[in-house]
């Protein structure tokens, strides 16, 4: 420990100054140093040094450190309030500067926030289904690797032979005239195969789902979505009262899906259909999604259903165009195409924000130069660098906050 003659060890003195913040802390440090000198003058420097260092082990030292810190924290909050009021007064005194800075920041922050909200909703928020990472859309691939939807028999064969999927279902949507209580409206109705509820991992919130024989017989039953139930059926829990007509068929409403379950996007109602294993393999009628078994990767499923597609091609020759099959994660399938455009827009908005910030920084710098006299006075009456920095930071934060609100 280095020490100059007549003063306590420098490192220890610094430690005490760090321990005891504020003016009262400084006074306590000075008292300790004076006491050190007194001990040193009667009992020697080494004893005084040990006496001085021993204070670090005293509980009262740490109690004082705690109390002073608590006081400093309280006064920090008090002076933050002062800074805030001062910042608001200062900004109101120069409305031209404030308006330009607030509008510039508002534009930058608003653009970035709006775009990020879109990206958060579209790309980042997971699909509203149970374990959506396990959902994939399946495509038939022909020799030119063109994607197409499935034919009835190809879907049935792939589903039967595949082991990578916990469940798989086919669906097809059509906007149909739906008549209810004499009112006709155009509603997107989706015909779904069995496995619909299992793949989505969702069951009707009210009523029931489709029974196995209702698929085979294509029974006139229908499940509607939450919004349809609330608006068209007035949220009536007694579903049996409301028969619904699509074309010339009358359907019984048997269930209402939970809020947020809308598959495919835009679909308001679902009816059961059974994809027959017979029929042409070159007709493409069904979109297909599947739920992977836990632990099975998309790549592993790709290998397996690719092999099944090759087997079917070998088996049926020119009767099928499918030579391969492709699983695509559902999230990517739904929003993947829009990702590059959104990322470019986000970059542009980020750049706009940076430009806005740079402009406001320039404005603040120009203004700080014109406030030299004020800064000098504040320094003269005791404001340290940290205190001044905090005041300017508070002003910048007030500007940003108002800019964000605007």
Partner 1 sequence: MSLGDLQHMSMLAVARLGKEAYGAAIRDELMEVADRKVTVPTVYVTLVRLEEQGLVRSSEAAAAGARGGRPRRVFRLTPEGWKALEGARAAMSRMWEGVVGP
Q: Which residues bind partner 1 (CB under 8 A)?
A: 23-24, 27-28, 30-32, 34-35, 55, 58, 60-61, 63-64, 67-68, 71
Number of neighbouring beta carbons within 10 Å of residue 63: 10
Nearer to partner 1, 10 or 371 (CB): 10
Coil, strand, or helix at residue 128? coil
Q: CA 92 to CA 95: how far, in whole Å?
A: 6
Q: CA 386 to CA 303: how far, in whole Å?
A: 63
Kindly give the pairing relationship between strand 221-224 and strand 249-256. parallel
Minimum Å distance from CB 13 to partner 1? 13
State residue 143 phi and psi, 5-degree precision.
Answer: -65, -30
Nearer to partner 1, 26 or 393 (CB): 26
Q: CA 321 to CA 201: how far, in whole Å?
A: 32
Nearer to partner 1, 35 or 342 (CB): 35
Nearer to partner 1, 34 or 249 (CB): 34
Nearer to partner 1, 339 or 387 (CB): 387
Closest CA to 13 of 22, 24, 23, 28: 28
Minimum Å distance from CB 23 to partner 1? 7
CB 101 within 8 A of CB 360: yes
Radius of gyration of the chain (CA): 37
CA dist 403 to 42, 262, 291, 357, Å? 65, 37, 46, 11
Answer whether the bond into residue 264 is a cis peptide, omega within 30°.
Answer: yes
Minimum Å distance from CB 68 to partner 1? 7
Minimum Å distance from CB 24 to partner 1? 6
Minimum Å distance from CB 126 to partner 1? 51
Minimum Å distance from CB 66 to partner 1? 9
Nearer to partner 1, 30 or 133 (CB): 30
């Amino acid at each position: 420990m280095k020490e100059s003659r007549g003063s306590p060890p420098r490192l220890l003195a610094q430690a005490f100054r760090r321990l005891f913040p504020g003016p009262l802390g400084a006074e306590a440090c000075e008292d300790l140093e004076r006491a050190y000198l007194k001990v040193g003058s009667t009992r020697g420097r080494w004893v005084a040094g040990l006496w001085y260092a021993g204070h670090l082990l005293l509980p009262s030292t740490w109690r004082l450190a705690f109390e002073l810190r608590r006081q400093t924290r309280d006064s920090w909050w008090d002076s933050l309030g002062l800074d805030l009021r001062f910042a608001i007064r200062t900004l109101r005194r120069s409305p031209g500067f404030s308006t330009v800075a607030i509008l510039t920041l508002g534009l930058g922050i608003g653009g970035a926030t709006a775009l990020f909200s879109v990206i958060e909703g579209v790309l980042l928020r997971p699909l509203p289904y149970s374990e959506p990472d396990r959902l994939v859309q399946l495509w038939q691939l022909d020799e030119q690797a063109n994607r197409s939807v499935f034919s009835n028999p190809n879907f049935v064969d792939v589903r039967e032979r595949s082991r990578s999927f916990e469940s798989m279902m086919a669906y097809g949507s059509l906007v149909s005239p739906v008549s209810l209580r004499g009112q006709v409206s155009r509603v997107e109705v989706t015909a779904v195969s069995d496995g619909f509820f299992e793949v989505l991992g969702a069951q009707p919130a009210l009523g029931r789902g489709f029974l196995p024989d209702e698929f085979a017989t294509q029974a006139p039953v229908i499940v509607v979505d939450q919004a349809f139930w609330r608006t068209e059926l007035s949220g009536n829990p007694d579903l049996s009262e409301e028969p619904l007509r699509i074309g010339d068929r009358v359907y019984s409403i048997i269930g209402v899906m939970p809020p947020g379950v809308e598959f495919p996007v835009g679909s308001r109602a679902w009816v059961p259909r059974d994809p027959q294993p017979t029929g042409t393999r070159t007709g493409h009628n069904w979109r297909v999604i599947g739920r992977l078994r836990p632990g099975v990767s998309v790549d592993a499923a790709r290998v397996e259903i690719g092999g099944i597609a090759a087997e079917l091609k070998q088996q049926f020759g020119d009767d099928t165009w499918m030579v391969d099959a492709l699983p695509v994660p559902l999230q990517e399938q739904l929003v993947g195409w829009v990702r590059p455009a959104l990322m470019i827009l986000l970059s542009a908005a980020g750049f706009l924000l940076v430009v806005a910030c740079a402009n406001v920084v320039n404005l603040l710098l120009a203004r700080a130069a014109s406030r030299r006299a004020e800064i000098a006075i504040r320094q003269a009456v005791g404001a340290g660098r940290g205190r001044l920095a905090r005041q300017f930071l508070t002003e910048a934060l007030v500007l940003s906050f108002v800019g964000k609100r605007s």
